[in-house]
Structure 1
Amino acid sequence: MTNVAIENQASSRFPRQERGSDFPPATSLASVADNLKKSFRTHPAGVAVITADPGDGPVGLTATSVSSVCMDPPTIALSLSAFSSSTPGIRAADHVVVHLLSKDQLDIAQLFATSGVNRFADTSKWDRLPTGEPYLLNTQVWMRGKITGTIEINGSTLAAIEIVESHCSDNQERVPLVYCNRSWHQLSETSTVKEAEK
């Protein structure tokens, strides 16, 4: 049976339906990118600060793109922006430190998200681990890891980080810092949504 015959036979069994109002019109790549920005602008994410020292001084940036990948070995994923001046330094470092911020660290999140400033000028806010990496004091959750793999996408970098050391406080009152729709938020008991009844 020829390909044309197969296509005709398939068309008779699965007739092509006219596009109705349920199907949006095709969009351009520019529209797709614009919609992607709009979509993730309203998709809340936890806030983290990444620090490292490639050998010529500490670097750091604020990120909302940290996610858990697997537990064996413990690995997380992180997206490093092509527009951040700290990305080359973080990529060149042997190890990085990933801090998951609480609402009390909004000033830290804003500092590491600001370009053109010395993010490490206030030495009362940070120190070095015994292994040499810069880390933020009074952070209740942090992880030290090594970048084990990267994917380059138009200058940005998706990095896999294998965690070799971690610290997680038992403080039950820790309130995570969240970023959504270009503003900072906090999670609390009042933000909990009840599960739908089954």
Structure 2
Amino acid sequence: MPASEVKESATPSLPAEDFKAIVRGHPGGVSLITADAGDGPVALTVTSVASISVDPPLLVFSISALSSAAKVLTGANALVVHSLDAHDIEVAKLGAINGIDRFAQAQTWARLATGEPVFDRVRAWVSCEVIERVQAGNSIVFVARALESHIARDMTLGEARDALVYHN
């Protein structure tokens, strides 16, 4: 069975509202994904970024297939994952609000030499090559290989800092 197919089952699924209530109560780190497939940049705030391998360095995240950024992200071969902290709350909001021009303030972002948009002054970012996309329900799961990074504010091992998490 291809990874993009969900096996039909005689057992009914958990109702969507129950599932959302469970997931809402599980904190997730906040990240901003940016890309440009040639028709202009997009930015989207997500809480689904996770590392899945150190060697090679791989990240995974998912987005709603209904997102306004989905078309660009599915067409992009490269993207940037911005790892946000509490100092980046405005950047997180920027990627979460519908119907605004996320790139209107030219001083807050630039392009990497490879063309991907990157926001300035965030905790950290990593540019990635998209190596796989999988349709899963009404979401698209991305697997991306880390290529280049920048850390503006590092976390001290074992010390609680200014993490930015989504919870409820």
TM interval, shorter chain, is 0.7 to 0.9
Is the contact made by 1:60 and 1:90 (CA closer than 8 Å) also made in structure 2? no
Is the contact made by 2:31 and 2:49 (CA closer than 8 Å) also made in structure 1? yes
Q: Which has the larger radius of gyration?
A: 1
Identity of aligned residues (%): 39
Is the contact made by 1:50 and 1:62 (CA closer than 8 Å) also made in structure 2? yes
- Which ranges in structure 2 are unaligned for 5 or more consecutive residues? 1-10
Determine if the alignment matches structure 1 residue 98 to structure 2 residue 98.
no
Q: Deviations over 1:133-157 (max 9, x none)?
A: 1000001211111111121023410
CA RMSD after TM alignment: 1.7
Q: Identify the residue that residue 162 of structure 2 maps to in structure 1.
A: 175
Give the Cα separation in 1 of the matches to 2:18 and 2:124: 33
Determine if the alignment matches structure 1 residue 162 to structure 2 residue 129.
no
Q: Identify the residue that residue 34 of structure 2 maps to in structure 1.
A: 51
Shift of 1:28: 4.9
Instruction: State the AA in 2 paired with 1:48.
Output: S
Give the Cα separation in 1 of the matches to 2:46 and 2:155: 24
Give the Cα separation in 2 of the matches to 1:133 and 1:115: 21
Equivalent residue for 1:141, pick from 120, 124, 128: 124
Determine if the alignment matches structure 1 residue 118 to structure 2 residue 101.
yes
Matches within 5 A, 1:61-76: 61-76=44-59
Instruction: State the AA in 2 paired with 1:179.
Output: Y
Bigger helix share:
1
Shift of 1:170: 5.4
Kindly tell me the number of residue pairs found equivalent between the two proteins.
154
Equivalent residue for 1:80, pick from 35, 39, 63: 63
Q: 1 or 2 for the larger relative contact order (CA 8 Å, sep ≥6)?
A: 2
Calculate the TM-score normalised by the size of structure 1: 0.73
Instruction: State the AA in 2 paired with 1:153.
Output: A
